[in-house]
C-alpha cells in the first residue's frame, strides 16, 4: 500500500466531514490490494466511503459509525469503488484474482455459486453486487428510532 494514497484518502475523508479513523482507510486500501486492485483515485475512494458512511448513519439514525460496522462499510466502499472503475473502463479485470473467488456464498436471502464455466466478468459482477449490498440485516442491530 502506498503511504501517499493512504494520506490522501485520510485527508479527503476528513475534509468531507468524516470522523472515520486512519485504520479504516488502511483497511479499505488493504482490501482492494487483496483483490488485486490498486486505488488510483484517492478522492473517488474517499468520496465513496463518505457517501456509504452517510447512508448507514442516516438509515440507522446515529451520529457516529460504530467500530463493528467498519468491515461492512469497507466491503460496501470497495464494491462501489470497483463498480465505478468497471463502469468507466478503468478496471482491468485481468489483474483481479477471481479464480475460485466465488464457488458458493450465502448471505441473507442471496446465494451465489458458479459452474466452472462462469466468465470472470460474471464472477466480478456477482461479487460486486454482494459487496455493495452486504450487511443489510446487520444494520438492524444499530438502528435507532427517530423522534
**Res. 146: pLDDT tops 60:** yes
**Res. 5: pLDDT tops 60:** yes
Decide: helix, strand or coil at residue 14.
Answer: helix
Q: What is the mean pLDDT of residues 75-80?
A: 96
- Residue 48: its H or E element: helix 42-60
For residue 147, being part of any structural domain is answered with: no
pLDDT, tens digit, 9 for 90 and up, residues 95-129: 776 665 555 566 666 666 655 567 778 888 888 99
Residues 79 and 144: their CA atoms lie apart, in Å, by 26
Q: What is the mean pLDDT of residues 83-93?
A: 90
For residue 42, being part of any structural domain is answered with: yes
Residues 45 and 47: their CA atoms lie apart, in Å, by 5
Residues 96 and 50: their CA atoms lie apart, in Å, by 25
Residue 51 belongs to what domain range?
A: 3-142
For residue 29, being part of any structural domain is answered with: yes
Q: What is the mean pLDDT of residues 30-41?
A: 91
**Confidence at residue 38, expressed as pLDDT on a 0 to 100 scale:** 87
Helices and strands (H, E) in the chain, number of each type = 6, 2
Please state the domain count of the chain.
Answer: 1
For residue 138, being part of any structural domain is answered with: yes
For residue 51, being part of any structural domain is answered with: yes
Amino acid at each position: 500500500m502506498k503511504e501517499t494514497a493512504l494520506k490522501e484518502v485520510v485527508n479527503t475523508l476528513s475534509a468531507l466531514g468524516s470522523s472515520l479513523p486512519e485504520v479504516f482507510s488502511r483497511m479499505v486500501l488493504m482490501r482492494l490490494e487483496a483483490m488485486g486492485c490498486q486505488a488510483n483515485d484517492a478522492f473517488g475512494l474517499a468520496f465513496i466511503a463518505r457517501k456509504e458512511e452517510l447512508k448507514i448513519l442516516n438509515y440507522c439514525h446515529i451520529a457516529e459509525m460504530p467500530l463493528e460496522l467498519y468491515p461492512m462499510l469497507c466491503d460496501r466502499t470497495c464494491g462501489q469503488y470497483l463498480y465505478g472503475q468497471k463502469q468507466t473502463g478503468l478496471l482491468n479485470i485481468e489483474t483481479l484474482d477471481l479464480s475460485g473467488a466465488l464457488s458458493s456464498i450465502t448471505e441473507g436471502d442471496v446465494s451465489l455459486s458458479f459452474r466452472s464455466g462462469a466468465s470472470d466478468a460474471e464472477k466480478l459482477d456477482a461479487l460486486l453486487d454482494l459487496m455493495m449490498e452486504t450487511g443489510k440485516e446487520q444494520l438492524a442491530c444499530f438502528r435507532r428510532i427517530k423522534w
